[in-house]
Structure 1
């Protein structure tokens, strides 16, 4: 596909007033389902939809309407809808407590240093508890950033993050307090996910994740442009620009996937691998992939073609095949296929119920040694 610089107006299909900046300006604590009554009404009010909205949200896991999603929320745990945790013998474990769900969600607040918060989350877990399993799993998968990268401390200010707020509500509502190793066996997902995917994307950005991406782009004196290939709704690009306006972030997407919401209006419409090949392999740029698809070896093609020295990938970290690669993590693939790169950081992302996501940061070994 040839490069197409056509403008795609930010939009929410069926909305009478959607404007991304105004959305953020008006978003507050009362916008969340925690305060606005229910999930359906929260989405309708926040995005300016009609009360009888009947849009069909298509995703791999289901096709639902807002009414459908709310009905399933109202069902609660009936029929195993909240059965996220199994032991090694695939016997269901007790649900986490509301306090544990809140503690897990708080890990990702911009006011917390993620590494220190993880330590506290683990130290406050009772021996043998589900929370201890979760904390141990998160600790085992953490790759503390290699200098000069660092997990940020409390920022002076951070933009609002409506997706993080909605995700935090989902943790308590769906009785979820973080992933454990046996989540590779979790085969179901909740019906709110197609709605959230269409409005925001398949992964939730955090201040820690955005900061690491920004740091990678600013390792040297002159910041490098960030290219987000497969940008989808554009929410990650939008958040990067809001949080770090000094950076150049270029969203690229072939628009083959339909989303109800588009947060940005300057997406470069092009096939990702084609863009990389026709732009000197991405030399002098940072590659960002957010929940890349598994099919057609998309992720493999991107990582083989990319000639830059830094890649950031938001993807599953338990090899369940939901993103990047089937049967292995992106870290496994890079270790085998790109030995000239090293994993410079891995931090957990807010994982939806039954899932296990992280941000992986890879840098060429020569580049790391040069900076060091």
Structure 2
């Protein structure tokens, strides 16, 4: 939680970052000069500690990393000075050993060109689907890049062929001459540096038995020869639980997962003018970014559309990005009667979150080994029972490593197993910028009228789902559809030309 403190001059200020009296999120993201200086310093010196201290305005008494006694508790307990020493070690002693052959030794790190190609997948200036295809088609045989690209493509799912929103689900790249600049996403920029520094070019399966789609059809004849020497399918993550000292710093200053332009745009699209509940909002970074994205473009319902950040405050964060987190038990907050006053925060504005989108970013599912305790999946199960809306978005692992999730089961597998009969259907699974050793994705599930009246939508729930036609004529739907349609038309010719260029490009 943010704190209000009294300075030596007697002024009362809100402290968003422990150790800084001047860091204000809404102002920091607009400070292009400091932002560019930090990125340049990272690129030239890899001085991560100074970059963090500079960006978050840590006070003079902690300008030397050794003087900063704050302990970051996450997957490990570290201080900023210790993290910088780990960065300085580089790849020695297997510190960058993210990939290996199953049953074999660690693999050499991927080339920087492959790392840059992985980062580019998530840039707002690229169309994710096209960038992923290029990531695969231009990869060398038996390379980490090819394994990662094939894996990510096999996991990606966008229900544009049958969902009522159709091709609007395919988020176009941003236009260079856009009159509405996108909000700054500092987490993405720090993450991109970490990929380069830690020599990470994307997740791969945790075992060779993991199913992936076949290699790209335009693989050269030479690459098809002597498949016995092709070790691509044997490349796996060295240790699904392995990470780096940088991650606790990222978690405390930004959050558990990096929001991408595609994921934020999809959440805005699925909201269709409705409010979003960021349940288990942590330090509020996703709420902060969503509020900026929801404010983009003309929307008549914009003043009523909100993002409610709800958290039980069981975790500690060095940085808070918002000052209006609702401290409450998620299930109780959802289940409480709707308040008579719209300004009340003691309960959900719409009981059960009906006509609201529910977002869970790395939810603690519950279980003996989790902070939520109880039977595994208990917390998630109770939350699902309490939620009365039709759109659930979950950010979490997609490789079954159990990282803050179910043991050996991904969120889509859990939803298929326990909630299919209630009409829930997966409509999106898209990769997110993943920290070294991790494998994050955005899952979106819907039910009822949100699925439309297609055969796929009506079939959800094995007969239990109500076969109603999706209501049409809602003004908020029309506005969102028109806006997305214009964006797609404006960028269509440029995108098609780029796709053609990527497909015709020679293999590396």
TM category (shorter chain) comes to over 0.9
Task: Provide the residue aligned with 1:227 in structure 2.
Answer: 277
Task: Provide the residue aligned with 1:119 in structure 2.
Answer: 133
What are the residue-to-residue correspondences of 1:253-264 with 2, within 5 Å? 253-264=311-322
Q: 1:55 aligns with which of 50, 66, 70?
A: 70
What are the residue-to-residue correspondences of 1:183-198 with 2, within 5 Å? 183=237, 185-198=239-252
- Assess if the C-alpha contact under 8 Å between 1:318 and 1:356 holds in 2: yes
TM-score calculated relative to the size of structure 2: 0.68
- Offset of 1:365 from its aligned partner? 4.5
CA distance in 1, matches of 2:196, 2:470: 43
Change (3 A) 1:160 1:305: same
- Structure 2 residue 20 is matched with structure 1 residue 15: yes
CA distance in 2, matches of 1:206, 1:10: 27
Q: 1:305 aligns with which of 371, 386, 406?
A: 386
Task: Provide the residue aligned with 1:160 in structure 2.
Answer: 184
Task: Provide the residue aligned with 1:357 in structure 2.
Answer: 440
Q: Secondary structure at the match of 1:318?
A: coil
Q: 1:172 aligns with which of 196, 199, 203?
A: 196
Change (3 A) 1:132 1:76: same
- Assess if the C-alpha contact under 8 Å between 1:10 and 1:263 holds in 2: no
Ranges in structure 1 where 5+ consecutive residues have no aligned partner: 1-5
Q: Secondary structure at the match of 1:312?
A: strand
- Assess if the C-alpha contact under 8 Å between 1:206 and 1:349 holds in 2: yes
What CA deviation, in whole Å up to 9, does each residue of 1:309-357 have, x standing for no partner? 0011110000111133221000000001111111111110000000100
- Assess if the C-alpha contact under 8 Å between 2:400 and 2:409 holds in 1: yes
Task: Provide the residue aligned with 1:3 in structure 2.
Answer: none
Task: Provide the residue aligned with 1:46 in structure 2.
Answer: 55
- Assess if the C-alpha contact under 8 Å between 1:145 and 1:151 holds in 2: no
Task: Provide the residue aligned with 2:36 in structure 1.
Answer: 29
Task: Provide the residue aligned with 2:258 in structure 1.
Answer: 204
- Offset of 1:184 from its aligned partner? 8.1
Q: Secondary structure at the match of 2:193?
A: helix
Ranges in structure 2 where 5+ consecutive residues have no aligned partner: 5-12, 207-236, 296-301, 337-347, 453-468, 472-508
CA distance in 1, matches of 2:364, 2:31: 33
Change (3 A) 1:110 1:227: same
- Assess if the C-alpha contact under 8 Å between 1:184 and 1:318 holds in 2: no
CA distance in 1, matches of 2:116, 2:147: 16
- Where relative contact order (Cα < 8 A, 6+ residues apart) is larger, the structure is 1
Q: Secondary structure at the match of 2:278?
A: strand
Task: Provide the residue aligned with 1:286 in structure 2.
Answer: 357
CA distance in 2, matches of 1:37, 1:96: 19
Task: Provide the residue aligned with 2:307 in structure 1.
Answer: 249
- Assess if the C-alpha contact under 8 Å between 2:121 and 2:131 holds in 1: yes
What CA deviation, in whole Å up to 9, does each residue of 1:36-90 have, x standing for no partner? 751000000111113132211111x211111010000001111211111122225
What are the residue-to-residue correspondences of 1:320-339 with 2, within 5 Å? 320-339=401-420
CA distance in 2, matches of 1:368, 1:348: 22
TM-score calculated relative to the size of structure 1: 0.93
Q: Secondary structure at the match of 2:81?
A: helix
CA distance in 1, matches of 2:327, 2:81: 33
What CA deviation, in whole Å up to 9, does each residue of 1:139-196 have, x standing for no partner? 0000024341513112333111110000000001001000000238433210011111
Task: Provide the residue aligned with 1:272 in structure 2.
Answer: 330
CA distance in 2, matches of 1:213, 1:10: 29
CA RMSD, Structure 1 to Structure 2 (Å): 1.9
CA distance in 2, matches of 1:17, 1:108: 31
Change (3 A) 1:307 1:343: same
- Offset of 1:127 from its aligned partner? 1.9
- Offset of 1:10 from its aligned partner? 5.9
Q: Secondary structure at the match of 2:30?
A: helix
Change (3 A) 1:88 1:34: same
CA distance in 2, matches of 1:91, 1:303: 43
Q: Secondary structure at the match of 2:266?
A: helix
- Assess if the C-alpha contact under 8 Å between 2:15 and 2:21 holds in 1: no
